[in-house]
Amino acid sequence: MNALRHPGLHLILRLLLGGLFVYASLNKIADPPAFARIVYQWQVFGAVPSNLVAVILPWVEALAGILLLAGIWKREAALVVALLLVVFLAAAGSVMARGIDVENCGCTSVAAKAEAGVFHGVGWFLVLRNAFLLASSLVLVGVPADAVEGRRALVQAEGPSR
Amino acid sequence: MGLRFGRIVAILGLGAALGLLWNGFSGRGLALGRSVFVQRGDEVIEAGEAKARLDRGALFLDARPADFYKMGHIPGALPLPEPDFERAFAALEPRLRRHFNLVVYCSGYGCEASNIVARHLREKGIHAAILNEGWPAWTDAGYPVRSGEAP
């Protein structure tokens, strides 16, 4: 459990999640209709709600990602990322249960059939990746990081006076 | 330190506001109220209107792959699968040119085939209405269906 409190780990997870979410949002922000087409393929919401998802979701991803990268509102931004990942996992489960073939999940790119296959479609790879990202975000939400080394040394030096 | 839920609401709310503003003013947005598949010149009708047109003798065109047609289709519909449009159209052309009440449909709001077929037909000077949300809208309304290769 102690390893999860390591400030270095928190920094790495923050940069990983933040960077990934900002990267994933850019492509979708640049082309809302293309992203809407991908959301339709998931067949979860209906056309008009799918349009709203396509318009709003990338901006929430971008904001949460920027906040994680910048280290502002870290836990709240991580919680938003965790909530999104829960929604993505539920949607992927629904798509797989219904046997719908989604060639490009639209996770990070709206390019049509960029590289169809296990890494872009909705399948177990996507589920495992999102589960890993969800676990990472929950560490940021739920496990407080230890003070960074310099401060810890200072605190230890001050010792019992605390 | 506890989580501040106001911040979570702020992230979600600001994201929604930025998304809607970007959609409205960037010039890259989409029309929120209808499918992005719908283009200028498309006539989109609901299932109830489609049924009324069927009763008045409309000819339906099934834009889905042929296997779906065999499993179930709207009575009287002819298969005009989008991936095989040119070949299927060549066989049906004389009938389609005589008919002035055409409705095309596909698998639902997630498929673009009906819009693409309607566009191909328009390029050939033939107008066909598009059944909004396609096959599931028809079956959900409890309207009649047929299966097999015959219309």
Which residue carries 């739920």 as its tokens? Answer: A142
Is A151 part of a structural domain of the chain?
A: no
Is A153 part of a structural domain of the chain?
A: no
CA A49 to chain centre: 21
Is A11 part of a structural domain of the chain?
A: yes
Which residue carries 């997870």 as its tokens? Answer: A13
- Closest chain A C-alpha to B97 CA, distance in angstroms: 32
Interchain contact B101–A (C-beta under 8 A): no
| Whether pTM exceeds 0.90 | no
pLDDT in the model for residue A110: 86
Nearest beta carbon to residue B11 from set A31, A36, A77: A77
At the second CATH level, the architecture of B44-140 is 3-Layer(aba) Sandwich (3.40)
Q: What is the ipTM of this complex?
A: 0.87
Tell me the average pLDDT across A95-115.
Answer: 82
pLDDT in the model for residue B18: 98
Give the start-to-end residue ranges of the domains of chain B: 1-30, 44-140
More confident residue, B24 or B2: B24
Which residue carries 């990202």 as its tokens? Answer: A133
Q: A106 is in which domain, residue-wise?
A: 2-141
Ramachandran sector of residue B148 (left: φ over 0; alpha: ψ -120 to 50; beta: rest): left
pLDDT in the model for residue A162: 42
Is A155 part of a structural domain of the chain?
A: no
Is A160 part of a structural domain of the chain?
A: no
Whether residue B117 contacts residue B131, with contact meaning beta carbons closer than 8 Å, is answered with no
Give the pLDDT band of residue A109 (cuts 50, 70, 90).
confident
- pLDDT (tens digit, 9 = 90+) per residue, B27-43? 999 999 999 999 989 99
Count: domains in chain A: 1
- pLDDT above 70 (res B88): yes
For chain A, the average pLDDT equals 88
Chain B residues with CB-CB distance to A30 below 8 A: 28
Is A105 part of a structural domain of the chain?
A: yes
A116 DSSP assignment: -
- pLDDT (tens digit, 9 = 90+) per residue, A30-84? 999 999 999 998 988 889 999 999 999 999 999 999 999 999 999 999 999 999 9
Q: Fill in the amino acid letter for A53.
A: V
